[in-house]
């Protein structure tokens, strides 16, 4: 049975960040993820999590670069010191908030030097954070021009080269579709590496379901292939989050669970 986490960076955005946590609980989500929790003290988020009982599934590293730089430094030759500095800050938040996964963003780079840099930085990160799950997400270059980790085969090769079971794949349905055109086939090929799944509608990254993508088949496939982790709702609502939550009720009903959103 799928279990869903609300991505609070994209959902309930009419509310302050900490207030989105009880809103997610009220809407029927069983957990939350926050791409970038760094704008408010970790204790404020931790208190809101404690009041609702919702776990935090995922945060991103590094913290956002407000000066307009690339998304991350993990694969950028010459960026190792910046990567380590930002990773340590992200790890402090992940530890304080008991985040299950920490998503490592590669940044803009290319070529063999980027591969070697990313592998070396991830080996360091695995050693630096001996109890933390780390994940890599292939993301399409139409949305993130120049992003290094933009291919599922590349992600698989990086994970194999690092060679640690605490490093896995973050599988996002929207990016899988944009990269390969085949959400289900991509899961069949690479789902065995996945530690975390995110869903968003195809082709517009809005509510999952409708005519774009067979999400009922995806949830069935996740069960059949033994995936037992969280499914993060990482989409951009067409209107208010609450008005668009019919997809959540439909997903649970399709999987034999209660068809409700709150």
State pLDDT tens for residues 126-176.
999 999 999 999 999 999 999 999 999 999 999 999 999 999 999 999 999
Looking at residue 66, its pLDDT comes to: 56
Cβ proximity of 3 and 30 under 8 Å: yes
What band does 260 get if pLDDT is binned at 50, 70 and 90?
very low
| Mean pLDDT score of the chain | 94
Alpha-carbon gap, residue 171 to 164, rounded angstroms: 18
| Bridge partner list, 103 | 60, 135
State pLDDT tens for residues 45-56.
999 999 999 999
Alpha-carbon gap, residue 31 to 229, rounded angstroms: 11
What band does 63 get if pLDDT is binned at 50, 70 and 90?
confident
Measure the N-to-C terminal CA separation of the chain; round to a whole number of Å.
Answer: 17
Looking at residue 125, its pLDDT comes to: 98
Which tokens go with 226?
């033994």
* 62 preceded by a cis bond (ω within 30 of 0): yes
| Bridge partner list, 108 | 147
Helix (H, G, I), strand (E, B) or coil at 104: strand
Domains of the chain: 4-254 (3.20.20.150)
DSSP string, 158-196: HHHHHT-TTEEEEEEHHHHHHHHS-HHHHHHHHGGGEEE
Asked if pLDDT for residue 209 goes beyond 90, the answer is no
Asked if pLDDT for residue 10 goes beyond 70, the answer is yes
How much is the pTM?
A: 0.95
Asked if pLDDT for residue 214 goes beyond 80, the answer is yes
Asked if pLDDT for residue 8 goes beyond 60, the answer is yes
Asked if pLDDT for residue 197 goes beyond 70, the answer is yes
What band does 119 get if pLDDT is binned at 50, 70 and 90?
very high
State pLDDT tens for residues 234-248.
999 999 999 999 999
Alpha-carbon gap, residue 150 to 197, rounded angstroms: 16
Would you give the DSSP letter of residue 243?
Answer: G
| Tokens 């591969």 -> residue | 115
Which tokens go with 24?
């997610």
What band does 255 get if pLDDT is binned at 50, 70 and 90?
confident
Alpha-carbon gap, residue 39 to 63, rounded angstroms: 9
Looking at residue 259, its pLDDT comes to: 44
Mean pLDDT score, 89-117: 97
Mean pLDDT score, 209-228: 91
């Amino acid at each position: 049975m799928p279990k869903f986490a609300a991505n609070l960076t994209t959902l309930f955005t009419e509310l302050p960040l900490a207030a989105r946590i009880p809103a997610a609980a009220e809407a029927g989500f069983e957990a939350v993820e926050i791409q970038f929790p760094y704008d408010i003290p970790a204790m404020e988020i931790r208190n809101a999590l404690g009041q609702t009982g919702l776990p935090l599934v995922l945060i991103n590293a590094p913290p956002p670069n407000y000066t307009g730089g690339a998304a991350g430094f993990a694969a950028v030759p010459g960026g190792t010191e910046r990567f380590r500095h930002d990773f340590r800050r992200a790890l402090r938040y992940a530890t304080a908030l008991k985040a299950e996964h920490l998503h490592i963003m590669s940044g803009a780079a290319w070529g063999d030097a980027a591969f070697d840099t990313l592998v070396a930085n991830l080996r360091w990160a695995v050693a630096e954070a001996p109890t933390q799950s780390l994940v890599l997400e292939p993301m399409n270059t139409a949305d993130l021009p120049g992003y290094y980790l933009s291919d599922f085969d590349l992600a698989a090769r990086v994970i194999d080269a690092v060679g640690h079971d605490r490093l896995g794949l973050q599988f996002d349905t929207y990016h899988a579709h944009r990269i390969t055109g085949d959400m289900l086939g991509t899961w069949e090929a690479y789902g065995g590496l996945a530690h975390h799944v995110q869903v968003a509608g195809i082709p517009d990254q809005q509510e999952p379901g409708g005519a774009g993508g067979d999400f009922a088949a995806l949830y069935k496939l996740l069960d059949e292939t033994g995936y037992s982790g969280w499914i993060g709702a990482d989409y951009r609502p067409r209107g208010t989050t609450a008005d668009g939550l019919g997809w959540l009720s439909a997903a649970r009903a399709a999987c034999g669970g209660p068809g409700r959103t709150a």
